[in-house]
Structure 1
């Protein structure tokens, strides 16, 4: 089984758990020390994925949002069992499991599975970016061809985080320069960039597990992924996805 095949299998394992617990009346919710929510489904998914990886890739490191671990210089699986937990616990269908394989500090495989949306995206270095709807035939995806910032569609996760972690004014400067803006949030906005539905997704604060799978997806779709300083890293605490043609302009506006 190739690494991509394994990542897709892990997404199947995760989907079986999350689909069953989504909108469950007995869903257990707790708060972590940083005040972000965690559900019993988050923990069950990460534990199940780790169990499979222990069997199939026993020599690889595993770093997950809920159970910890750090990606070092070698091979590491970086997991977000449920990205968009606030949506998940409120019954909003925009959430996903994110699975990435990082090798030598760079994501080389990424799978993003959103069963409540009926959508899955995946990519591997040199193999392109792909998506399928409701388990249907895979379709190769690519970023948009928008060249002017005045024609661009931009998204973020939460406007309030810009005040706390970067600059609210800088994000509004980008918004004012663009044609349209929304807050699709979390994984979804980056997937929308990868498939060409929108052109930019910017976040002033992210964790490595939030965007490791995103980086390889966007890059394999022909786009560009960096932190807000322009470094092509998933682990620098911020994120900007674009179709590539608008990237430098967006970085400049974000300051």
Structure 2
């Protein structure tokens, strides 16, 4: 970008991100349930497939042309460049689901400016849904072939009426918070473990009121932040720090955030 070229607006960046999501969906769906899917174990014992690497390479190649001055931080290939504008990529969140044929998986793509997530796209083609949010532009969900609809969190203000999605009991146990989770589960009206990206998008849709988990990386969190905030919800670490400050996340409709955080904290 030269001095005479105007800086892209957030709306411009969102258009780029949605284009990338469409391309990512095509690549991933072509490999979903493929008989020749290549699955490897990374050093941390998590799975990576040829779909993960193909999607991330495509996004990096496109951004190198469309946003050459921006940096990119991805799950599979690390950090490229140095800029106050950074794209954070999880090419397939829920790779284990992808491998097993469970449809809860998808792209997480965020634009972080000066350390703050300003734009997020979450695309789950096997579920037939795409969500996005950008600061000042609202949060939206589009079903396959349908019109986008604006998202808003629920108005549930009592724990006894709330639905909680907790993701993984093992993760809570390893974090030393299983007792706290069980305590909260006894107070809410309903508990489920929808898992991965879907739990948080259900909060943005107003279908779930509290969602939380541990053992996350920045690429698991960044894209969720603008969607949740623009839908009227609250997102933090379990102990109330800023998102991405540690490996945990607590997402609520806002009305229940303080009470959920209190229940999940270690005194």
SS in 1 for 2:37: coil
User: Deviation string for 1:142-183 (max 9, x for gaps)?
Assistant: 000000011110002211011112311111111111110111
SS in 2 for 1:20: helix
Residues matched between the structures, number: 255
What residue number does 2:207 align with?
A: 197
CA contact (8 A) 1:187 1:211 kept: no
What residue number does 1:92 align with?
A: 102
CA distance in 2, matches of 1:149, 1:32: 40
What residue number does 1:243 align with?
A: 253
* Correspondence for 1:11 among 21, 37, 49: 21
What residue number does 1:252 align with?
A: 262
* Correspondence for 2:146 among 136, 142, 147: 136
What residue number does 2:61 align with?
A: 51
State the 1:223 CA deviation: 0.3
| Correspondence 1:124 to 2:134 | yes
State the 1:72 CA deviation: 6.9
SS in 1 for 2:168: coil
| Correspondence 1:42 to 2:52 | yes
What residue number does 1:28 align with?
A: 38
SS in 1 for 2:58: helix
| Correspondence 1:80 to 2:90 | yes
State the 1:236 CA deviation: 2.1
User: Deviation string for 1:19-52 (max 9, x for gaps)?
Assistant: 1000000001000111111111000000000000
- Structure 1 segment 67-216 matched on structure 2, within 5 A: 67-69=77-79, 74-216=84-226
User: Deviation string for 1:43-63 (max 9, x for gaps)?
Assistant: 000000000000000110100
| Correspondence 1:66 to 2:72 | no
What's the TM-score once normalised by structure 1's chain length? Answer: 0.97
User: Deviation string for 1:92-140 (max 9, x for gaps)?
Assistant: 1110101000001111000000001000000000111000110421100
What residue number does 2:5 align with?
A: none
What residue number does 1:226 align with?
A: 236
CA contact (8 A) 2:221 2:243 kept: no
SS in 2 for 1:12: helix
CA distance in 2, matches of 1:123, 1:71: 25
SS in 2 for 1:237: coil
CA distance in 1, matches of 2:82, 2:258: 29
List 4+ stretches of structure 1 deviating above 4 A: 70-73
State the 1:71 CA deviation: 9.4
Query: Bigger radius of gyration, 1 or 2?
Result: 2
State the 1:232 CA deviation: 2.7
CA contact (8 A) 1:61 1:76 kept: yes
Mark the runs of 5 or more structure 2 residues left unpaired by the alignment: 1-7
SS in 1 for 2:191: strand
State the 1:231 CA deviation: 1.7
Instruction: Calculate the aligned-residue CA RMSD, in Å.
Output: 1.3
Mark the runs of 5 or more structure 1 residues left unpaired by the alignment: none
